[in-house]
A and B are shown apart, each in its own frame.
Chain A
Amino acid sequence: MIIKILGSGCKKCIALGENAKAAAAAAGKMAEIVKVTDFAEIARYGVMSTPGLVVDERLVSSGRVLTADEIGKLL
């Protein structure tokens, strides 16, 4: 699966990326974490507050740093 982190590279985006990596590892899934920093592409997912989390092209959260547990439930 492909997990995308949408955001301009602020601290929150990095934290969300770490949590997503941990969640995928805990769930025993092979996941590729992709950082999306281009504003045009971020906007295409309809995100207005970063960081956004996209799992297999589906936007699952925006504006919050989810914990690894919370991400685990969304995978």
Chain B
Amino acid sequence: MSVFAWANDQLLRMTWLNDLVGQGVVAIGLDPASRLGGSVQFFVYDVIKIFILLSVLIFAISWVQSHFPPERTRAILGGRTGLGANTLAALLGTLTPFCSCSSIPLFIGFTAAGLPLAVTFSFLISSPLVDLASVILLASIFSWPIALAYVAVGLVVAILGGTLIGRLGMEGQVAAFVRSVPVTGTAVTLTRGERLAYARDQVAEIIHRVWPYVLIGVGLGAAIHNWVPGDLISALLGQDKWWSVPVAVLVGIPMYADIFGTLPIAEALVGKGVGLGTVLAFMMAVTALSLPSLIMLKRVVGMPLLATFTAVVTAGILSIGLIFNAISHWFS
């Protein structure tokens, strides 16, 4: 076994932890091969693994992100147009710290500074969709090729979605006050101590925010893993069922959950024979579109633009799901 594969198994997938939890399950008198024992093992192992990975990842990623505050991203993107600008915006979207409650101030800040709608939307689509932490978790749960493919298609949706919205000439859909906002604020340079404090705060805050989703997600995952008959799931959402992707997207859009909570469910579903594309489409629908953030966006853009944004992103996710289901044999 190569060093990389060994490190991947031990550090990222934490196979040692699964073995350890398995021994613990035996020690309390349960059989890991039984339903109850298997559920307990899945739950304990997944919860510990996700929290360890989350803490380490968020700390490291927040350190990187502290170099890309929105002010700096805006300065980098300023004056650029065309496909290159959309690509850059989508890439920066993965690096700029983002919280759904900041999406409106960010939209106003970008638009007021004269960034084209195409560029702003590429950023707004990629930012929640391709999150660095979730990519590494995907690699941990599935594999690196799948995680990298997820990043690639996420960026493509962001680039094409933004470009398309730009082509439709909907600049008039932006609430009038947005353009009259003065452009102030430059990025402050942080000291090393401030970056450390920022990274530490982010870990505490994100763990505090997502832990219920993670527990619920892992609980559902454990239930699916051991209790729901595989025949039932594959009859409803199996890879050969054309409707599985649209169903996954429709269920995912109104859901407001964290990607960290949806990952264990995704893991369990794939284990039961649900197509990779269906599962990825579900995760993307949950993270990229949510009712609360759409309602907030409604305050700064008109309904036609909002509907276009939703339609473009939904269509993008649907095609990704269908494409991934068609090529999923490449990853097995």
Contacts and interface: CB of A to CB of B under 8 A. Distances in A.
B105 A47 contact: yes
Interface in B34-62: none
A15 B188 CA distance: 22
B101 A46 contact: no
B233 interface: no
Chain A: interface size category: 20 to 34
Interface string B180-215: 011111000000000000100100010001000000
A17 interface: no
B201 A39 contact: no
Interface in A18-72: 39-40, 42-50, 59, 62-65
A7 B97 CA distance: 16
A21 B80 CA distance: 43
- Chain B binding surface, main DSSP class: helix
Interface stretch (B19-27, B106-114, B234-242): B106-114
- Chain A binding surface, main DSSP class: loop
B105 A49 contact: yes
Contacts, number: 69
B171 interface: no
Given A44-B181, A48-B71, A49-B70, A8 B205 contact: no
A42 B106 CA distance: 11
Contacts of A62: 185
A40 B105 contact: no
Contacts of B178: 43
Contact of A40 (B69, B106, B177, B198): B177
Contacts of B184: 45-46, 59
A39 B104 contact: yes
Contacts of A40: 108, 177, 181
A48 B198 contact: no
A43 B109 contact: yes
B69 A8 contact: no
Contacts of A11: 209
Interface of A: 7-8, 10-12, 39-40, 42-50, 59, 62-65
9 contacts: A10-B101, A12-B205, A43-B105, A43-B108, A46-B184, A48-B70, A49-B102, A59-B184, A59-B185
Given A39-B299, A64-B201, 16 more contacts: A7-B101, A12-B205, A40-B108, A43-B178, A44-B182, A46-B183, A46-B185, A47-B185, A48-B69, A48-B70, A48-B106, A48-B109, A49-B97, A50-B101, A50-B102, A50-B105
Interface of B: 69-71, 74, 97, 99, 101-102, 104-106, 108-110, 112, 177-178, 181-185, 198, 201, 205, 209, 296, 299-300
